Amino acid sequence: MASSSHSRIADFLFEAGLLKTTQRTGWNTVRAPPESVAEHSYRTAVVGYVLARMAGLSPSDEASLIKACLFHDLHEARIGDLHRLAKLYGSLDEKKAEKAQREGLPADMKADLASVLDSLSPRLKQFAYEADKIECAITAKEYLDAGYRTKKWIEHTRPMLKSKEAKELLAAIEKSDSISWFVDNPKWSGETKKK
């Protein structure tokens, strides 16, 4: 029989799974295809890894940053995602939801989650914030390249970025075509070399 802590961990994982069906609502305003919070969180963690490497962070700081990015929207499993317009009319207590989600977890896990969500150094907190914003800009660029009116998402991201690494990464994203890595590569796009 599973211990109560194992049962609580299982419940935590089931709750985290709700992010796979929790939609990010901002893209609805331009009628872009739906994206789940889980999809956003995954790539935010990847962006966090890239920023950590660009900045030469220590392995410990890199791990903390990636975890912060991975869990930054976990509270949305309980309170959903509110886009910018909706937030003009009210807000929900994200920190209260995060704290409640940690209740009953083993002490080390609870402390680790609290650390990466509440106690990051200012530098790591800024990188986590930037990773979140850059991931939104990447998605906006993908939608823009597909014909959706999402250019303003990218433009609004620029002034939010403070680190040199984040600014450089956003500039590269803006200059890129989001599908050229595949469609313009003869090896992957089905084209064959002429002999």
Task: State residue 167's pLDDT score.
Answer: 98
Task: State residue 187's pLDDT score.
Answer: 79
Q: In the chain, pLDDT over 70 holds for what percent of residues?
A: 95
pLDDT digits (tens, 9 = 90+) for 160-186: 999 999 999 999 999 999 999 888 888
DSSP-assigned letter for residue 30: G
Task: Name all domains of the chain by residue range, CATH numbers in brackets.
Answer: 4-177 (1.10.3210.10)
Cβ burial, residue 143 (10 Å; 0-12/13-18/19+):
buried
pLDDT mean over 60-77: 97
Task: State residue 90's pLDDT score.
Answer: 82
Q: Which two tokens stand for residue 82?
A: 């509110």
Task: State residue 116's pLDDT score.
Answer: 93
Q: Which two tokens stand for residue 166?
A: 């984040």
pLDDT mean over 60-68: 98
What are the residue ranges of helices labelled H in the chain?
Answer: 4-17, 37-55, 59-71, 76-79, 84-87, 94-102, 107-118, 122-145, 151-157, 164-175, 180-183, 186-189
How confident is residue 1, by pLDDT bands cut at 50, 70 and 90? very low
Q: Above 80 in pLDDT, residue 52?
A: yes
Q: How far is CA 84 from CA 55, 88, 100, 143, 193, in A?
A: 30, 7, 25, 18, 48
What residue type is assigned to position 191 of the chain? E
pLDDT mean over 42-51: 98
- Average pLDDT value over all residues in the chain: 93
pLDDT mean over 110-129: 96
Q: In the chain, pLDDT over 90 holds for what percent of residues?
A: 84
Q: Above 70 in pLDDT, residue 46?
A: yes
pLDDT mean over 85-107: 91
Task: State residue 85's pLDDT score.
Answer: 82
pLDDT mean over 78-107: 90
Rg (CA), the chain: 19
Q: 3-class DSSP state for residue 147?
A: coil
CA end-to-end distance (rounded Å), the chain = 65
Q: How far is CA 4 from CA 46, 78, 99, 105, 110, in A?
A: 33, 22, 19, 9, 15
Q: Which two tokens stand for residue 186?
A: 């003869």
The answer to whether 23 and 35 have CB atoms below 8 angstroms apart is yes
